[in-house]
Amino acid sequence: MGGHSSEHEISLKTGGMVLKNLDRRKFDALPVKIGKDGSWPITLEELKEKCDVAFIAMHGEYGEDGQIQSLLETFGIPYTGSGPIASALAMDKQKTAVLLANNGLLVPESLTAIPNDIHLEFAVAENFKNFPIVIKPANLGSSVGISIVKEKARFQPALQKAFQYSESVLIQRYIKGREITCGTLEINGASIPLMPTEIIPRTSDFFDYYAKYNANGSAEITPPNLPEEIIKNIRFTALKAHKILGCSGMSRTDMIMSKNGKLHILELNTIPGMTETSLLPQQAKKMGIEFPQLLEIIIQSAFIKNKT
């Protein structure tokens, strides 16, 4: 847990909740807190000797982008969640969008911006005839650095905000609709879509950082008040996205359902949060899976992946 990403504190919360809820009759747990400076309290050689599996509770860069996974694989340490390739793909929102679109799923129209691109405003005007648009870092989670830009005057400030967190920025068409998210969990080697959640932000226009991590930031309805056929389609879409990217263990797919009922995928999270307000544990609980059992399932999937 921890690490030198912008999501260090959220990672510590996730790691703390994992430690708190592990069934100690079955597991001994050693917390490994990686500092903001990237320092480790233990060597990887010592970690390999001490642990049967590493439970990765690191969000954002280094933890969710395939780096820690590659490092653990180098030392032959089994770990939870997706491998390096799927992690890196899911972390890169533009590559994710291209891959999903090429496999028949809907994603918002988008383009990628780099710093000091003199043609950017022209490209935006050509691709997006009207505001609002969405500007976000291309490879971060937890809604860090995201802005919904409703007028041209706010374009440059939103762009600079996003560039504070990433060397590339994703500009997307804003799709008005209902925010939906749906987890996928691997149980005994089979990928099972969980019950989806509708997110209704109370404090902002979208599910931003505050809405995600404050108890009163949003209303989260699991399952949504939607017809059964639409619920089935949401779950099918999340499962398909999970498989297209080659994820394992667990994932959570965030979507917007437009007024015509079409599902547009915004992003895929390979290490969903496990805090008091997190969505994956809520969804699992609706399917009869309590937190300690959820953690056991995630750990078991790591052993299954390591054997194969």
The CATH number for 33's domain is 3.40.50.20
pLDDT (mean) for 87-91: 94
Express as a percent the part of the chain with pLDDT over 90. Answer: 62
Q: Is the pLDDT of residue 141 over 60?
A: no
For residue 74, pLDDT over 70 is answered with yes
Q: How far apart are CA 93 and CA 99, in angstroms?
A: 10
143 and 180 in a single domain? The answer is: no
Q: Is residue 1 part of a domain?
A: no
Q: Which residues are catalytic?
A: 7, 142, 213, 252, 254, 267, 269, 273
Confidence bin at 239 (pLDDT 50/70/90): very high
pLDDT at 190 over 70: yes
Are 214 and 146 within one domain?
A: no
| pLDDT tier for residue 203 given thresholds of 50, 70 and 90 | low
Residue 27 lies inside a defined structural domain of this protein = yes
Structure confidence at residue 120 (pLDDT): 77
Domain final position from 60, 79, 98:
79
Which pLDDT band, with edges at 50, 70 and 90, does 116 fall under?
confident
Q: Are 234 and 268 found together in one domain?
A: yes
Shared-domain flag, residues 227 and 93: yes
- Mean pLDDT taken over the chain: 88
Strands 190-193 and 197-201: unpaired
- Give tens-digit pLDDT for 39-50: 999 999 999 999
Do residues 238 and 183 make contact, with C-beta atoms less than 8 angstroms apart? yes
Tell me whether residue 93 is in a domain. Answer: yes
Is the same domain home to 218 and 283?
Answer: yes
The better pLDDT of the pair 6, 236 is held by 236
Higher per-residue pLDDT: 143 or 208 = 143
Domain termination residue (choose one: 173, 208, 225): 173
What confidence score (pLDDT) does residue 155 get? 82
Q: Does the pLDDT value for residue 225 go beyond 60? A: yes
pLDDT band at 86 (very low <50, low <70, confident <90, very high): very high
Domain check: are 94 and 116 in the same one?
no
181 residue type, one letter: T
Same-domain pairing of 291 and 183 = yes
Same domain assignment for residues 196 and 243: yes
User: What is the β-pairing status of strands 197-201 and 177-187?
Assistant: antiparallel
| Residue 34 burial (CB count, 10 A) | 23
- Residue 261 and residue 284 in one domain: yes
Distance CA 260, CA 239 (A): 22
Contact between 250 and 81 under an 8 Å Cβ cutoff? The reply is yes
- Domain of 298 in residue numbering reads as 88-106+176-307
Same domain, 275 and 142: no
pLDDT classification of 127: cutoffs 50, 70, 90: confident
Q: Is residue 227 part of a domain?
A: yes
Residues 184 and 297 grouped into a single domain: yes
Locate 52 and state its tokens. Answer: 């049967």
CATH number of domain containing 303 = 3.30.470.20
Number of domains into which the chain is organized: 3
Higher-confidence residue: 230 or 130?
Answer: 230
Domain CATH number, residue 163: 3.30.1490.20
Is 2 inside any structural domain? no
- Rounded distance between C-alpha atoms, residue 178 and residue 127, angstroms: 24
Res. 82: pLDDT tops 60 = yes
Q: Could you report the per-residue pLDDT of 11-61, keeping only the tens digit for each?
A: 999 999 999 999 999 999 999 999 999 999 999 999 999 999 999 999 988
Task: Give the end of a domain, one of 79, 98, 119.
Answer: 79
- Is 298 a member of any domain? yes
The answer to whether residue 155 sits within a structural domain is: yes
Domain assignment of residue 50, yes or no: yes
Whether residues 30 and 117 share a domain: the answer is no
